[in-house]
Amino acid sequence: MHYKFALVGNPNCGKTTMFNEITGSTQYVGNWPGVTIEKKEGKAKKFKEDIKIIDLPGIYSLSPYSMEEIIARDYILDEKPDVLINIIDATNIERNLYLTTQVIELGIPVVVALNMMDAVEAKGDQIDIRALEKAFGVPIIGTSANKGKGINELLHKALEVAESSALTHGTSACKFYDEQIEKCIGEIENTIVPSLTVKAQNPRWTALKLLEGDEKAKEKLNVSAKVLDQIKVYQEKLEKVYDNDMETIIADNRYRFISKSISKAVKKKSAGGELTVSDKIDKVVTHRILAIPLFLAVMLGIFQITFGAIGSFTIDWVDVLINETIAGTVSGWLEVSGAAPWLHDLVVNGIIGGMGSMLVFVPQIMILFFFLAILEDSGYMSRAAFVMDRLLRKLGLSGKSFIPMLMGFGCSVPAIMSARTLENEKDRRLTIILTLFMSCGAKLPVYALFVSAFFAKDQAWVVFSIYVLGIIVAVFSGVILKKTVLKGETAPFVMELPPYRIPTFKGLSIHMLDRGKDFVKKAGTIIFAAAVVIWFAQSFSFSLQMVEDPGNSIMGTFGKIIAPFFAPLGFGDWKSSVALLTGFVAKEVVVATLGILHGLGEVGEDTASLAATLQTSFTPLKAYAFMAFTLLYMPCVAAFGTIKREMNSWKWTLFTVGYQTGVAWIVAFIIYQGGRLLGFN
Amino acid sequence: MINWIIGGIIIGLTVFIIVQRIRSMRRGESGCCSGCSVSKSQCHCDHKK
C-alpha cells in the first residue's frame, strides 16, 4: 500500500529531526525557527509499506499570512495526505496546540506527536496524554525525536489511522467553539456552503473559513457578492455579541478550549514566574551591554581554535599527504610511463596543485563549522540574531534580515533564498544584497592561505576581523540603501527564542561532515575542471603555442589588461588580478589559481612554499586588502544565478553585483591607501 | 600513447563536468550545496545516509 504522511507543526518543534529519524535522511536541523522554508520529501525506513513523508515548513497557524503558512495549507488542502502528523513541542504545549485545533478542523486524519517529552520529564512536569486525547479526539503519542523515542509507535499509529476505513480515529468530532458560534457555523454549512459554485470538500471547514473572513479561502471558493452579504449577517451578529472582530473571536475560542483542556492534563512542577535555566542564561547572553561583546568573544574563541595549533596541525598533515605523497607518487609514475612534459605539468602542477591548494584547508574549515554548529544547535545563534535585531532596528533595518545574513556564513545560495521569508519586496532585495557581504565558507581557503603567509602569529584575529568587516559593511550598506534606493517601512520582526539544548554528536557530525563532503566534491568537480582550464590558459598563447613565460599566455595577457584596475588596491600584478576573476566560478578557485600560477603541486612545493612565493608580491597590508576585496566583491556564478531567480530582475541583479564590486573596491582602496598613510606596510 | 589516453580522459572529464555544471545550473541547482536545487532552501537537502 502507498501512504502519504505530512509532518506539520510550529517552527523549531523538532519536525526536521523527526523527519530525519523516520526517513534516515540527514536534513539540515537548526535550533532556530524557520530552518525549513519549503516542503521536503522522504520515505519511511523500516516499514514494508510504501510511506512517503513530507516535512512542511514550521507554522504557528493555518491563517494565510506568511509564505510558509500558505505553502503548508495549500499542500494539505490540495495534496490531501493520508495522515497529518502534528508535532507539538511539549515544553510549550499551549501555544503549539493552537495549530492542532486548526489542523483537526481540516478534516484530514490527524495523529499528534507530543515531542520533546524528555525535556518535559527533565523539568519534572507531567502530561496526561490520555486526557489530552479525550479532549481533542485524536490519537496522541509521546515522542523524543532527538533520541529516537516513540517514533515507531507514532508511525504504527499513523498507519493504523490511515488503514482504518472509517477514519474515526483521525477526524475528530471535537467542537472548539461556543454554542452561538457553533450554531452559525452549522447554519452556514447547511444553507450557504451547498450553494457555492466551487464544491467544498470539507463543508464545516469551509463554513468556518467563510465566517472567519479568510481572504484566500474566499478567493479559492470564488465566493459571490451575494454569498458574502449572507455571511456578513452572521459576522455582524457574532461581533455584536462578543464585542470583537470575527478573527479574534474565533482565535479566543480556540485558546479557551486549549486552556481548559491543558488545565486538566498538564501538571507543572514549578509555579509560573520561576526562571528556567534558559531564562537565566538569557539574562546574561542577551544583556543590553554584555550581549555584543560576549558574541564577539565567542566568535573570536572559535577562530582561535580553528586557526591556532589544532588547525595548523591539520594543514601540515594534509599538505604532506597531497603535495608530497600524492604529487610525488603520481609524478614518479608519469615519469616511468614516459609521459610528455606537458602532461606531467598538467597533472602535477595543474590538477594536483590546483585541487590541493584548496583541499589542504578542508579539515580546518570542518573544525570551524563544527564549532559554528555547536552555537547553532545549542540555540545561541538565535540569541545572536535577537541581539543583532536590537542593533539593526536602531539603524532602521529589520532584524528579519539577520537570519539570512547568519546563514550567509555557510553558503550564499540558501541564504539568498531564505530572504523569501520577508514579505516586503524592498526588504527582501535589501536582505539579499546584505547577505552577500557575509563571508561564505568558500572564501575561507583564501583567508587561510593569506593568514598563514602573512599573519602567522595573529591568524585568528585577522580572520575574525574579516568576518566583522563583512558585518560592518553590510550594516552600513543597509543604512545607506534603506535611505536611498530601497526606502520604505521596516517590517516588524517577531522571533521565538528556542530553549537551550545540548547539541547531539550526530547533529554536529552531520554539519561538519556535510561541509567537508561538499568541499571535497567541489574539488573533484568544479575545481578540477577550473584547474584544467586555468592550466591551459596559463600554458598556451592565443596562437595555441605553449609558452615558457606564463606572462605571455592567454591568462597572462588577459591578466595584464585588468591588473591596472586593482593596482590602487595594492595587488596590481596580473596573477592576483586573474585569480580574483576566476573566483566568479567558485571562490575556492582563487586559491587554486594562485596555486597553479605559483607552481604549487610541483614535487617538493607545498603550501608553505606557496606562502613564501606570495610574500614576494604581497605585503601584509596588501594581503589584508586582498582578503577584504575577496570578502566583498561579486558573488560566484551559483549565487549570481540565485540572485537573478529570487529578484526576478536583470536590472536589480546587475545593480547588486555592481554595487558589491564597487563597495569591495572602495573598502580595499581605503584599507590599502589608508594603511600606507598610517605607515603600515 | 599514454599522453593521448590520460590527456583524453582529463579533457573528456573537464568537458563533461562543465556541461553537467551548466545543465544543473539551468535546472536551478546550487554549486555550493551539492545536489541541492535552488527551489529548496537549505544545503544537503537530498543527502541520504
> What chain A residue is nearest to B44 in terms of C-alpha separation?
A27
Superfamily of A2-168 according to CATH: P-loop containing nucleotide triphosphate hydrolases (3.40.50.300)
Q: Which cell is A633 given?
A: 566583491
**Cβ A38–B34 below 8 Å, yes or no?**
no
The arithmetic mean of pLDDT across residues A464-480, rounded, is 93
Q: Is A148 on the interface with B (CB under 8 A)?
A: no
Q: Which residues numbered 548-607 in A keep a CB inside 8 Å of some CB on B? A: 586
Q: Which residues numbered 352-411 in A keep a CB inside 8 Å of some CB on B? A: 410-411
**Cβ B42–A27 below 8 Å, yes or no?**
yes
Cα separation, A564 vs A567, whole angstroms:
5
Contacts of B44 in chain A (CB under 8 A): 26-28, 510, 514
Per-residue confidence (pLDDT) for residue A25, from 0 to 100: 67
Percentages helix, strand, coil for chain A (3-state, rounded to 5) are: 65, 5, 25
A513-550: b or e for each residue (b if 16 or more CB lie within 10 Å)? bbbbebbbebbebbbbbbbbbbbbbbbbeeeeeebeeb
Per-residue confidence (pLDDT) for residue A427, from 0 to 100: 83
Q: Is A25 on the interface with B (CB under 8 A)?
A: yes
Per-residue confidence (pLDDT) for residue B38, from 0 to 100: 39
Query: Could you please report the per-residue DSSP string of A133-173?
Result: HHHHTS-EEE-BGGGTBTHHHHHHHHHHHHH-SS-TTTS--
Interval A377-403: pLDDT, tens:
888 888 887 887 777 777 777 777 777
Q: Is B43 on the interface with A (CB under 8 A)?
A: yes
Which one of B10, B34, B38 has the shortest CB-CB distance to A642?
Answer: B38
Which tops the pLDDT comparison, A472 or A427?
Answer: A472
Tell me how close the Cα of A463 comes to any Cα of chain B, in angstroms: 21
Interval A262-283: pLDDT, tens:
988 888 776 656 677 788 888 8
Q: pTM, whole model, 2 decimals?
A: 0.72
Confidence of residue A64 (pLDDT cuts 50, 70, 90): low
**Cβ A343–B7 below 8 Å, yes or no?**
yes
Q: CA A407 → CA A404, A421, A429, distances in Å?
A: 5, 13, 16
> What chain A residue is nearest to B1 in terms of C-alpha separation?
A339
Q: Which residues numbered 85-124 in A keep a CB inside 8 Å of some CB on B? A: none
Which one of A441, A521, A638 has the shortest CB-CB distance to B25?
Answer: A638
- The answer to whether A361 touches A449, Cβ cutoff 8 Å, is yes
- Residue A218, pLDDT > 70, answer yes
Which tops the pLDDT comparison, A382 or A588?
Answer: A588
Would you identify the CATH topology of the domain A179-267?
A: Helix Hairpins (1.10.287)
Per-residue confidence (pLDDT) for residue B49, from 0 to 100: 31
Nearest to A76 by CA among A11, A7, A12: A7
- Residue A553, pLDDT > 80, answer yes
Confidence of residue A637 (pLDDT cuts 50, 70, 90): confident
Confidence of residue A38 (pLDDT cuts 50, 70, 90): low
Tell me how close the Cα of B5 comes to any Cα of chain A, in angstroms: 10
Give CA angle at A660 (A363, A585), nearest 5°.
50
**Cβ A413–B33 below 8 Å, yes or no?**
yes
Instruction: Give every CB contact of residue A513 below 8 A, 6+ residues apart in sequence.
Output: A366
Strand runs labelled E in A344-420: none
Contacts of A525 in chain B (CB under 8 A): 17, 20-21
- The answer to whether A618 touches A473, Cβ cutoff 8 Å, is no
Which one of B6, B39, B49 has the shortest CB-CB distance to A339?
Answer: B6
Confidence of residue A173 (pLDDT cuts 50, 70, 90): low
pLDDT, averaged across chain A: 85
Contacts of A37 in chain B (CB under 8 A): 41-42
> What chain B residue is nearest to A637 in terms of C-alpha separation?
B31
- Residue A37, pLDDT > 60, answer no
The complex's ipTM works out to: 0.80
Which one of B10, B36, B44 has the shortest CB-CB distance to A26?
Answer: B44
Q: Is B19 on the interface with A (CB under 8 A)?
A: no
- Residue B29, pLDDT > 90, answer no
Mutate to test the interface with A, among B30, B39, B49 (most CBs of A within 10 A): B30
Tell me how close the Cα of A519 comes to any Cα of chain B, in angstroms: 9
**Cβ A25–B49 below 8 Å, yes or no?**
yes
Contacts across the A-B interface (CB distance below 8 Å): 118
Which sequence spans correspond to the domains of chain A? Answer: 2-168, 179-267, 275-681
**Cβ A38–B31 below 8 Å, yes or no?**
no
Nearest to A410 by CA among A123, A142, A28: A28
Per-residue confidence (pLDDT) for residue A66, from 0 to 100: 65
For A149, left (φ over 0), alpha (ψ -120 to 50), or beta? beta
- Residue A520, pLDDT > 60, answer yes
- Residue A30, pLDDT > 60, answer no
Tell me how close the Cα of A373 comes to any Cα of chain B, in angstroms: 14
